[in-house]
Structure 1
Amino acid sequence: MNIHLKTALDYIMRAPFQALSAIFVLTITFFVATVLSILVYSSGKIIRHFETRPQVIAFLKDESTPESISALQERLSKDSRVKDVKYVNKEEALAIYKEATSDNPLLSELVSPSIFPASIEFSLLDLSFAEKVIEDMRGEAIVDQVGFTANIGSQTALGDVVSRLRTITLYLRVGGGVLVGVLLATSFLVLIVIIGMRMTTRRGEVEILDLIGATPGFIRSPIIIEAFIYALVGVIVGWLSTLILTLYATPSIVNYFGEIPVLPRDTLNILALFGIILAVEIVIGITLALTGSLLAVSRVRRGR
């Protein structure tokens, strides 16, 4: 085992309660940071879902030719503002109607495919494109009418919902950022205090090392490694706690929100998302540990 790592572990074992306090504060910090990261991710997915959910339905005139319909489909497929372009013929429109009225079969028996117009349906990449896209579709020669659907109400109501969701997400990001910042500052101060106490108790040992010609790096290394251990354990425990809770709750969350993709639906994608979060948190934790330990060591050495 590396001598510096062994020395750092010895320091931790000599004062386990100080070590536990540092790890506890760091665990809380990164647990909250991970939870907030997931909440921000989920809120962004909800906003995206409601922005792209409204479907534009262009009802086609009966005299429309297959060539003109194909040409319109191709233009829409190349339009960067839309996605999921789909052509619905009269028979498919009747099937949709029958499915919608399945609780009353008599209604289905009274209609035929000829009374339903064919249509081209597509979704928008962003709600702000709706007005312009609908205006463009109304100008098409083969389009009779244009409908704009949204299960949660009118276009105005949908815009209000999206606006509220954006506001909530903004508050979540700002408030969460402030909370994580306060917790990181607290963790930083706790690290400085504990490392400072370590250096104070080792004052005699440090003086002896100085006298025999030990380099500053040799003296600092065990302290820096100790801080790294605190940070890494805090990051991993906080992150792992959130991961376990998320994996446990994901089936219920996915079932509650239905088709809204608040979280990835398969375990591999969830692990990939958490892997990205873990990588970022490890970088933050190492930076916090390195900065705090170097600052604490320099302050103690200046005070000699």
Structure 2
Amino acid sequence: MNHINTSLRNIRRSPFQAMAAMSVLALTFFVTTLIAILVYSSSQVISYFETRPQIIAFLKDSVDQESVAELLKDLGANSKIKNVKFVTKEDALEIYKKATSDNPLLSELLSPDIFPASIEFSVTDLAYARTIVNEVKLNGSVESVGITASLGGESTLGDVVDQLKTITANVRIGGMIIVSVLLATSFVVLFVVIGMRVSMRKEEVEILKLIGATPSFVRLPVLFEAVFYAIGGVFIGWLVACVVLMYVSPYVVNYFQDIPILPNDPKYFFGLLGALLAAETLFGIFIAFVSGFLALTRVSKGK
């Protein structure tokens, strides 16, 4: 407890150095939190397009039930395909009515016969989509194969797949580079600040050694001081990032609509933020200990 009190007293003696150290750490973990959420959201976008029905095989009107059953069996047995669903003419009419519920006149005079039966399914990986589409087209029961509008149609499917994966990879790589640079900057700032604090107290440290103070008695207050900087900086950066996220999340969710770019469950959402805070705090403490220890070692050697 005495070491903690000593650390807090040293921080109060040099508030500007403390503010400088915590400001850099706050900026680092502010950006880290936002990038972590961005990586999570980009992964959710990929997962959304990989798990929803993306391919629709429209069946010929003359097809019989046996042919349909055989096609369903073949699709279900394919390891690259999942979520196979048969949509009857009646189901298609109901889907159309729901889509045009704001204008019921459009569906009043329609009958199920004008809609084709279809089979909807997903692929386990978007990279398989084009191959699967070409294979299904060759089936004699299939009139045509369509891609859901959200993917832009078959002609652009390959480009969409590549773009989604490229964007996600770039976000992760770019985020890692930015966070690494900021972490390195935070490490250097902590190293310099702690080194300056130890140098300013060099005479006091020498006196303590002469009267028999142990190395841990001298070092622990300095290390605790570095830890306080880290915890304060991490919490401030995380808190500001959360405030920004809370402010922009309604607009982001409204823009992406059906895509669960952020968790819908408040418990899961705040749990995610809490896990980020815990991980960042642990990493911040690690940086503080390492930079503080190196600064103490450097000053004690008189370099």
TM-score by length of 1: 0.87
**Mapped partners of 2:25, 2:288: distance in 1:** 10
Q: Find the residue that maps to 1:85 and give its secondary structure.
A: strand
Asked whether the 8 Å contact 1:52–1:127 carries over to 2, the reply is: no
Asked whether the 8 Å contact 1:54–1:149 carries over to 2, the reply is: no
Asked whether the 8 Å contact 1:26–1:187 carries over to 2, the reply is: yes
Q: Find the residue that maps to 1:260 and give its secondary structure.
A: coil
User: Taking structure 1 as reference, are residues 204 and 146 closer, same or farther at Cα in structure 2, changes over 3 Å only?
Assistant: same
Q: 2:64 matched to which residue of 1?
A: 64
Shift of 1:83: 3.4
Q: Find the residue that maps to 1:213 and give its secondary structure.
A: coil
Q: 2:121 matched to which residue of 1?
A: 122
Asked whether the 8 Å contact 1:93–1:113 carries over to 2, the reply is: yes
Shift of 1:25: 0.9
**Mapped partners of 1:163, 1:85: distance in 2:** 24
1:10 maps onto 2:9 in alignment:
yes
Q: How many residues align?
A: 300
**Mapped partners of 2:242, 2:182: distance in 1:** 20
Q: Give the letter aligned to residue 88 of structure 1.
A: V
Taking the TM superposition and a 5 Å limit, the aligned residue runs for 1:93-172 are 93-100=92-99, 103=103, 105=105, 108-109=108-109, 111-138=110-137, 143-152=141-150, 153-172=152-171
1:216 maps onto 2:215 in alignment:
yes
Asked whether the 8 Å contact 1:134–1:146 carries over to 2, the reply is: no
- Structure 1, residues 174-227: CA drift from partner, whole Å, max 9, x if none? 333222222212211111111111111221221122223322222111111111
Q: 1:294 matched to which residue of 2?
A: 293
Mark the runs of 5 or more structure 1 residues left unpaired by the alignment: none
Asked whether the 8 Å contact 2:82–2:121 carries over to 1, the reply is: yes
1:43 maps onto 2:42 in alignment:
yes
Q: 1:86 matched to which residue of 2?
A: 85
- Structure 1, residues 232-273: CA drift from partner, whole Å, max 9, x if none? 111111111111221232222111111122211232222122
Q: Find the residue that maps to 2:212 and give its secondary structure.
A: coil
Q: Give the letter aligned to residue 147 of structure 1.
A: V
Sequence identity, in percent?
A: 48
Q: 1:192 matched to which residue of 2?
A: 191
Asked whether the 8 Å contact 1:254–1:265 carries over to 2, the reply is: no
1:251 maps onto 2:250 in alignment:
yes
- Structure 1, residues 25-69: CA drift from partner, whole Å, max 9, x if none? 11011101111111222222223334555622233454533x765
Q: Find the residue that maps to 2:149 and give its secondary structure.
A: coil
State the Cα RMSD in Å. Answer: 2.6
1:261 maps onto 2:260 in alignment:
yes
TM-score by length of 2: 0.87
Runs of 4+ in 1 over 6 A off after TM superposition: none
**Mapped partners of 1:78, 1:252: distance in 2:** 41
**Mapped partners of 1:7, 1:107: distance in 2:** 78
Mark the runs of 5 or more structure 2 residues left unpaired by the alignment: none
Q: Find the residue that maps to 1:121 and give its secondary structure.
A: strand
Q: Find the residue that maps to 2:264 and give its secondary structure.
A: coil
Q: 1:179 matched to which residue of 2?
A: 178
Q: Give the letter aligned to residue 143 of structure 2.
A: Q
User: Taking structure 1 as reference, are residues 154 and 58 closer, same or farther at Cα in structure 2, changes over 3 Å only?
Assistant: closer
User: Taking structure 1 as reference, are residues 98 and 199 closer, same or farther at Cα in structure 2, changes over 3 Å only?
Assistant: closer
1:22 maps onto 2:36 in alignment:
no
Asked whether the 8 Å contact 2:136–2:142 carries over to 1, the reply is: no
